[in-house]
Amino acid sequence: MLAGVVGGCQKYDNDKKFNLANIETFHITNANQPTGRNFNFTENDSAWMTGLRVYGNNMYITNRGNSNLLDSNTVFMNKLAIDNADGIPAQDAIDDGGSIYVSDGFDLDPTGTKLLIAGFTLDRVYSATLTTAFDFSTIGSFSTSPAIGNNPRGCVWGNGGAKFYTVGGLTATSSSIREYNTASSYSAGSASYVNQIILSGSSAYNAVSDINISADGTKAWLSSAAGYLFYGELSTPWSITTLSIVTTVDINSFYASYSPASTSANSFPWVCGVHWNEDGTKLYVLSLWGQTDSTQVSGVVSPPIVEGTSGFPPTDTNTFAVIEFRRK
């Protein structure tokens, strides 16, 4: 059973808070692995970490599922205290009999009771209600959206559950953000497509993977697999077609200094989760792989076997999945 602290709406206070231009140094969230939190050899069957939200003193992180290498066919929610991120997370399966086949990102409303999951493989999003806030063992039945069309990597609720938004890649230099209305609040199954905006013309937009939107619907923060973070403004609240990107931050250098979380097939870190803490002073960023270039997969799931340069577990501590950026 997972239980958490109820988080508040993310708010925008001043030019020092919630401002990508003011992130400077980062603090790694555990002591035993001084460059971050590696999930691959700590949790069996949940190594591809795809979604991240921070509420109170805890990180909530989902794995991909879908029987990927280093992963199981089950989607789990991992709860991990930020100040004890080298510990073993509490873990609940997110499952209603098999429809949640894959999770490439998720969102929770501020009360911690309304869950939204981006299902990349089947091109759907799923919603459900938690009976007890932040307790993922109390998930009710899921509501499934119609086909999304951009194989969503990430998702976020908007306007009190009257909307949700999805992000997904189109080409190596473009991604789309889609806006949906919900006929019933916080219900993916009642969704109807509204419009989309396409971000294009730069490799920075390769596979935009997560999105956050401010409580007033005028500001957005995004991440991309290519290792970039974005801040944008909506001139009309909640209307995604009015989004303009204001700030772009390349965080590849942070990864390059500490053995980037990547594979031989993908040289970029595949940043797939981004979320501010509640007061806007710290930014948490999740990478998909959580493994070094030298890590090899020698087995299959249940359980996976990960071999580093010196066997299992890898002795190279320069591996991580979650990093914490702090403002200047």
Q: What is the pLDDT at residue 270?
A: 81
Question: What dotted CATH number matches 20-327?
Answer: 2.120.10
Check whether the bond before 313 is cis (ω within 30° of 0): yes
Q: What is the pLDDT at residue 103?
A: 83
Q: What is the pLDDT at residue 37?
A: 47
Domain spans of the chain, in order of start: 20-327
**CA–CA separation, 66 vs 324, rounded Å?**
28
- By residue count, the chain amounts to 328
Q: What is the pLDDT at residue 23?
A: 53
Please give the average per-residue pLDDT across 223-227, as a whole number.
Answer: 90
Q: Which residue has the higher pLDDT, 20 or 125?
A: 125
Give the model's confidence band at 32: pLDDT under 50 very low, under 70 low, under 90 confident, else very high.
very low
Q: What is the pLDDT at residue 20?
A: 56
Q: What is the pLDDT at residue 77?
A: 85
Please give the average per-residue pLDDT across 297-304, as a whole number.
Answer: 31
Q: Other CB atoms closer than 10 Å to residue 328's CB: what's the count? A: 9
User: Which residue in this structure is represented by tokens 């691959």?
Assistant: 40
Q: What is the pLDDT at residue 42?
A: 45
Which tokens belong to 145?
């959206």
Strands (E), 99-254: 106-108, 114-119, 124-129, 143-144, 154-158, 163-171, 174-182, 191-200, 208-213, 219-224, 228-234, 243-250
Residue 85 pLDDT > 80? no
Over residues 236-267, the pLDDT tens digits come to 999 999 999 999 988 877 666 544 344 444 55
Over residues 7-22, the pLDDT tens digits come to 233 333 344 565 655 5
Q: What is the pLDDT at residue 131?
A: 96
Q: What is the pLDDT at residue 188?
A: 96
Alpha helices of the chain — where are they, by DSSP H?
Answer: 252-256
CA-based max dimension of the chain? 55
**CA–CA separation, 318 vs 328, rounded Å?**
24
**CA–CA separation, 187 vs 142, rounded Å?**
9
Residue 164 pLDDT > 90? yes
Q: What is the pLDDT at residue 99?
A: 64
Percentage of the chain modeled with pLDDT above 70 = 62
Over residues 132-141, the pLDDT tens digits come to 999 998 998 8
Give the model's confidence band at 101: pLDDT under 50 very low, under 70 low, under 90 confident, else very high.
low
Q: What is the pLDDT at residue 305?
A: 31
